[in-house]
């Protein structure tokens, strides 16, 4: 706890811009996305008022909406249920993470339900989350109307559920392993032009221990470090992963890392190289700001030159957009 307090105090002692306040708020976030993205939908390229092309409609009515200038999935009727289009009904691995952004108008008993079939269902309201007999209350800014981040980490029976920067539910053992999922919205405002929305859905496979990965492979990919599109500005939720890496380096003072930024092939090669360099430098500077000696870190941009996956699919591109830590 003293280490986390130290990190927070570091943020307070520096300038206190709104971005830094957001970063400070997320610094204790310990969710770590899986390594390999197996489904992602940022809804780019979708046509407004049409049903989203990468989803199946199971009940109700849904469509692509435009909200705050961004494509979203709009739940146009109460009890609308959708599921991702996958190659089989059993596509969830033994370890996975699932993330999405949810929009609440705070109308009546508004809710989202993430249904994992026989494994159980997660009901998400602005007052609390519940999964079977496990419940967790939501307080503070997370209980107001607007966009909120939901994240689920499942690892061989154990499940952790996060809402915004807080871990709300920690389940030691889910009795039946999830095989797939659906998303249902109880959208009370839909009849009045205020339906619920979701965006930024990401499903990834795997979880790993940073130190074990360094010991065996000499490197790891930090999937939890995210940036605004086309920018080197860190998303606030990235602070959880960066803090995890800070803790690793603080506990193992012999570790030194080359921080590599990588992009997909969208855009031109020169701009991608510059963007990747800027992103790697941003991550390095944040770790130095948290207290890591700058002599233990270097930064390099690789642009689109070293793809980890194909650039022909959304999932492949997402796997190529990454920050890699290589032991020096």
Q: What is the pLDDT of residues 183-205, one digit of tens each?
A: 999 877 777 888 899 999 999 99
Q: What pLDDT does residue 195 have?
A: 87
pTM of the complete model: 0.88
What's phi and psi for 253, nearest 5 deg?
Answer: -65, -10
* Placement of tokens 């003293």 in the chain: 2
Q: Is pLDDT of 18 > 70? A: no
Residue 181 and residue 271: Cα distance in Å, rounded? 38
Model confidence band, residue 83 (pLDDT cutoffs 50, 70, 90): very high
The token duo for 116 is 């994992």
Top pLDDT among 4 and 122 is at: 122
The 8 Å CB, 24+ separation contacts for 90-93 are 90/179, 90/180, 91/38, 91/39, 91/179, 91/180, 92/116, 92/154, 92/177, 92/178, 92/179, 92/180, 92/181, 92/203, 93/38, 93/205, 93/206
The token duo for 84 is 């991702």
Q: Is pLDDT of 129 > 90? A: yes
The edge-to-edge listing of strands for the beta sheet with 55-59 is: 55-59, 80-84, 182-186, 111-115, 121-124, 128-131, 134-137
* Mean model confidence pLDDT for the chain: 90
Beta bridge partners of 84: 55
* Placement of tokens 């959880």 in the chain: 240
Average pLDDT for 27-40: 89
The token duo for 67 is 């909200």
Q: What pLDDT does residue 284 have?
A: 97
Residue 220 and residue 324: Cα distance in Å, rounded? 6
Q: Going from the N-terminus, what domains does the chain have, and what CATH number goes with each?
A: 2-30+208-327 (3.30.1330.60), 36-205 (2.60.120.560)
Q: What is the pLDDT of residues 252-272, one digit of tens each?
A: 999 999 999 999 999 999 999
Q: Is pLDDT of 3 > 70? A: no
């Amino acid at each position: 706890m003293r280490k986390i307090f130290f990190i927070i105090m570091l943020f307070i002692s520096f300038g206190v811009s709104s971005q830094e306040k957001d970063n400070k708020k997320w610094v204790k976030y310990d969710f770590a996305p899986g390594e390999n993205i197996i489904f992602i939908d940022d809804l780019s390229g979708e046509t407004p008022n049409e049903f989203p092309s990468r989803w199946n409609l199971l009940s109700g009515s849904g469509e692509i909406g435009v909200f705050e200038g961004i494509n979203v999935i709009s739940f146009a009727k109460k009890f609308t249920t959708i599921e991702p289009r996958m190659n089989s009904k059993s596509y969830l691995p033994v370890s996975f993470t699932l993330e999405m952004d949810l929009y609440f108008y705070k109308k009546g008993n508004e809710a989202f339900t993430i249904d994992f079939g026989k494994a159980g269902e997660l009901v998400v309201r602005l007052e609390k989350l519940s999964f079977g007999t496990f419940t967790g209350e939501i307080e503070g800014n997370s209980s107001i109307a607007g966009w909120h981040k939901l994240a689920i980490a499942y690892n061989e029976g154990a499940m952790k559920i996060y809402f915004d920067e807080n871990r709300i539910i920690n389940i030691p053992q889910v009795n039946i392993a999830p095989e797939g999922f659906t998303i249902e919205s109880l959208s009370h405002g839909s009849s009045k032009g205020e339906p619920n929305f979701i965006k930024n859905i990401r499903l990834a496979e795997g979880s790993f221990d940073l130190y074990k990965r360094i010991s065996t492979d000499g490197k790891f990919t930090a999937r939890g470090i995210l940036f605004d599109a086309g920018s080197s500005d860190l998303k606030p939720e990235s602070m959880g992963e960066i803090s995890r890496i800070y803790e690793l380096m603080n506990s193992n003072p012999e570790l030194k890392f080359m921080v590599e930024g990588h992009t997909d092939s969208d855009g031109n090669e020169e701009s991608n190289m510059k963007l990747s360099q800027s992103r790697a430098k941003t991550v390095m500077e944040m770790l130095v700001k948290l207290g890591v000696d700058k002599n233990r870190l270097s930064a390099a941009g690789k642009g689109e030159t070293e793809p980890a996956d194909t650039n022909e699919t959304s999932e492949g591109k997402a796997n190529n957009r990454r920050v890699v830590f290589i032991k020096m």
